[in-house]
Amino acid sequence: MTNERTAGPNGAWDELFSAVYEGRDDTVVTLLRSGVPAEATDQDGQSALYAAAVSDEPGVVRLLLAAGADPERASGPDGGDLPLCGAACGGHTEVVLALLAAGARPDRREAYGFTALTWAVGQGHTDTVEALL
């Protein structure tokens, strides 16, 4: 799978990302039901799941995972950003737990070699470190 933006309904992808960043679960559900894929990416190749993970939106993360988003899929301009690492870097423990429950591996390394645990330790997020261990 590439990180190219997936073509789809006019404006629906932008609306999905707005809903993700704003934590509007109901809008995310509506868009997913209308056919916007859970694996949708923005113009920079960032997945909706990664956006929800770094934005500390656990409800949206769970919705996207339930709709088929891959918790292991790297995204971003260089395809090296992992949702679990993004959540761990921000200390978003509830998101980390949801991603782990969906099969994200805590030992995967991003493009620069960092794991989720490396991020959490480096940022001093004790609760997130405990969840990853």
pLDDT of residue 1: 39
pLDDT of residue 105: 95
Distances (CA, A) of 127 to 6, 28, 62: 36, 28, 20
pLDDT of residue 4: 41
The tens digit of pLDDT for each residue in 95-108 reads: 999 999 999 999 99
Segment (H or E) for 73: none
Digitized pLDDT (tens) for each residue of the chain, 133 residues in all:
333 444 444 478 889 999 999 999 999 999 999 999 999 999 889 999 999 999 999 999 999 999 999 999 999 888 899 999 999 999 999 999 999 999 999 999 998 899 999 999 999 999 999 999 9
pLDDT of residue 3: 39
- DSSP tag of 113: S
Q: Are 30 and 67 in contact (CB under 8 A)?
A: no
Domain coordinates of the chain in residue numbers? 12-132
Helix, strand, coil % in the chain, rounded to nearest 5: 50, 5, 45
Q: Does domain 12-132 have CATH number 3.30.420.40?
A: no
For residues 63, 73, 38, 19, the Cα torsion angle rounded to the nearest 10 degrees is 70
